[in-house]
Amino acid sequence: MLDNLSKYQIVLGSASPRRKELLKGLGLDCEVRSVGDIDESYPKTLQSAEVPLFIATKKAEAFLSTLSPNELLITADTVVCIDHQVIGKPVDASEAFNMLKGLSGHWHEVITGVCVCTTKQTKKFSVVSKVKFSNLTDDEITYYINHYHPLDKAGSYGIQEWIGFIGVESIEGSFYNVMGLPVQRLYQELKTF
């Protein structure tokens, strides 16, 4: 499938092992590329749903000057929102604990913005999934933080990890979006290149 992409080298502008794994699940081999630290700040006037697409676009713009005509670039950014407040990645274990404590027993949104570019074409989209956590105990949160690596994850958790197994009570929308890449929607967009 996606034979239309055979003319392109797929470039993933993300160091996320989860995104690379999800692209592989679509049958796409990709080269992971980095341009160093990209400023992930955003105007505070943006609505929470607009933030990940704004950042995914900034990531794509950082690569565009080095993109060859035979390359297709995919960048993405994922945020967690609770009560319209954006929750990014925690800076330390204490912040991770507080984030997970805040998500415990509540619904939240996971929003991923994706930018797909060639030198001639750009497509941008966002996908929203809703996740409900059960009430987590302090011991469960501490166990997860001590045994997994939540510091590189929006909202301090990976749904595909232990915390997702024991904590996710309900999900509305794409599971893979919560992992960091809405592959069903991405597949549909890639068919148009």
Q: What is the pLDDT of residues 62-85, one digit of tens each?
A: 999 999 999 999 999 999 999 989
What value does the mean pLDDT take over residues 86-90?
91
Q: What is the pLDDT of residue 1?
A: 86
Contact call for residues 123 and 116 (beta carbons, < 8 A): yes
pLDDT-derived band at 38, boundaries 50, 70, 90: confident
Domains in the chain: boundaries? 3-190
Look over the chain and give the mean of its residue pLDDT values, rounded to a whole number: 95
Q: Indicate which residue of 3, 29, 37, 77 is catalytic.
A: 77
Active site residue 77: yes
Q: What is the pLDDT of residues 104-147, one digit of tens each?
A: 999 999 999 999 999 999 999 999 999 999 999 999 999 999 99
What value does the mean pLDDT take over residues 172-188?
97
Res. 36: pLDDT tops 90: no
Res. 35: pLDDT tops 80: no
Considering only CA atoms, which of 74, 80, 81, 45 is closest in space to residue 57? 74
Contact call for residues 183 and 26 (beta carbons, < 8 A): yes
Q: CA-CA distance, 56 to 78, in Å (whole number)?
A: 9
Tokens linked to 62: 């950082």
Q: What is the pLDDT of residue 30?
A: 95
Q: What is the pLDDT of residue 40?
A: 84
What value does the mean pLDDT take over residues 84-91?
91
Q: In CATH, what class is 3-190?
A: alpha beta
Q: What is the pLDDT of residue 54?
A: 97
Q: CA-CA distance, 34 to 12, in Å (whole number)?
A: 9
Contact call for residues 20 and 10 (beta carbons, < 8 A): no
**Cα-based distances in Å from 23 to 103, 141, 161, 189:** 28, 30, 19, 13
pTM higher than 0.85, yes or no? yes
Q: What is the pLDDT of residue 34?
A: 84
